[in-house]
Amino acid sequence: MMDLNEDAVAHSAISDNCMLCDRKAECFRKLTKTELKKFHDSKSTVTYRKGETIIKQGTQFTHVVSFNEGLAKLVVEGETEKNVMIGLVKPSEILGGPGMFENNRYAFSVIALTKSKICLIDASIFKKIIQTNDEFAESFLSTFSTRYIQAINRLVSITQKQMYGRVAEALLYLSDSIYLTDEFNMDLSRLELAEFTGMSKESVSRIFREFKEDDLISTHGRTIIIKNKNRLRRIYNLC
C-alpha cells in the first residue's frame, strides 16, 4: 500500500507533467502530444513567495508564464512610484503579452500575492507552435484578447467611475471572477485594494465601513462576506 509520503511524491510528479497536469490553460488542450511534450521538455517550474516579483515590466520577454498555484497581481508601473493594478491572475491562466510579438519586452509586472507556482515556457518554442497550430493560436489569442479588454475596462473604471462604484466593482470582480464565492479570505491588503481601484487606502477603508453599515458586506478578520450582491451591482452600474 502507498503511504502518505509516497502519495505526495506521486501527486507532485503528476502536477509537474504537462501531459497529465489538470491545471493547463485552455489553449494547451489544442496541442498535439508532440507539441505538448516540447513545452514539457523546455519548461522550468518555479515557486515564488508572497511579495516576490514573477515578471518585471520592461525586462526582456524570454518566457510565457503558465500559472499553476496561488494568486498574483498584474501591475503597470508608471514613471512615478504609483502603480496601476490591471488585474489578477489565478491557476490555469497563461500570461503572454504584446511584448512577445512587438518589442520583446514585458509590458507589465506580475507580483505574487500568495505563495505561487508557475511554469516558464520558452517564448521561442511557444511562437513556433503558434505559427504551425491554428487552433492553438486562435485559443491563445482569444485568451490574450480577453485580458486586454479587461485591462482596458479597468482603466476606464478608474478614470470614469465614482469611488463607490470602483469599490463595488472590485468586490464583484473578486467574488465572481477570482474566488467564485460570496464569502472569501481577502488576499489583497487595503493598500493593494487602493492600487486596484485607483484610490487612497483611507478612502477604501471608509467605503468598506459604509458598505458594512449598509449591510452590503460583513468582515471577520480577512474574511469578506457579500450579503447583498444585487445592491452592489446597482452601485457599480450607477456610480
Q: How far apart are CA 61 and CA 124, in angstroms?
A: 10
- Return d(Cα 107, Cα 120) in angstroms, integer: 17
174 and 105 share one domain? no
The total number of structural domains in the chain stands at 2
Whether 104 and 188 share a structural domain: no
DSSP structure class, residue 59: S
Considering the domain architecture, whether residues 133 and 201 belong to the same structural domain is answered as no
The reported pLDDT for the residue numbered 132 is 92
Query: Residues 50, 98, 35, CA angle at the centre, nearest 5°?
Result: 85
Residue 115 lies in a domain: yes
CA separation for the pair 148, 142 (Å, rounded): 10
Checking if the pLDDT of 2 tops 60, the result is: no
Asked if residues 48 and 55 have their Cβ atoms less than 8 Å apart, the reply is: no
Q: Are residues 143 and 188 in the same domain?
A: no
Domain of 222, in residue numbers: 161-238
Three cell numbers, residue 194:
487602493
The reported pTM is 0.81
Q: How, if at all, do strands 116-122 and 217-220 pair?
A: unpaired
Higher pLDDT, 156 or 12: 156
Strand ranges across the sheet with 44-48: 44-48, 116-122, 63-69, 93-95
Instruction: Report yes or no on 3 lying in a domain.
Output: no
- Residues paired with residue 76 on neighbouring β-strands, in sequence order: 84
Extract the C-alpha cell encoding 66: 503558465
Q: Give, rounded to a whole angstrom, the gap between the first and last alpha carbons of the chain.
A: 60
- 3-class DSSP assignment, residue 111: strand
- To the nearest whole percent, how much of the chain has pLDDT over 70? 89
| Residue 132 CA: distances (Å) to CA of 4, 17, 31, 69 | 43, 23, 10, 29
Return the C-alpha cell found at 54: 514573477
**pLDDT tens digit sequence for 118-151:** 989 898 898 899 999 999 889 888 888 888 888 8
- Phi, psi of 74, deg, nearest 5: -100, 125
Both 136 and 155 in a single domain? yes
Same-domain pairing of 49 and 124: yes
CB 95 within 8 A of CB 64: yes
Model pLDDT for residues 66-79, shown as the tens digit of each residue: 898 999 999 988 77
201-213 and 163-173 helices, crossing angle to 10°: 80
CATH at residue 129: 2.60.120.10
Q: Do the beta carbons of residue 83 and residue 195 sit within 8 Å? A: yes
**Cα separation, 102 vs 114, whole angstroms:** 31
pLDDT per position as a tens digit, 14-62: 346 666 666 677 788 888 888 888 888 888 889 999 999 999 998 988 8
Closest listed residue to residue 227, CA positions, set 192, 184, 194, 183? 183
Q: Where among 113, 141, 159 does a domain terminate?
A: 159
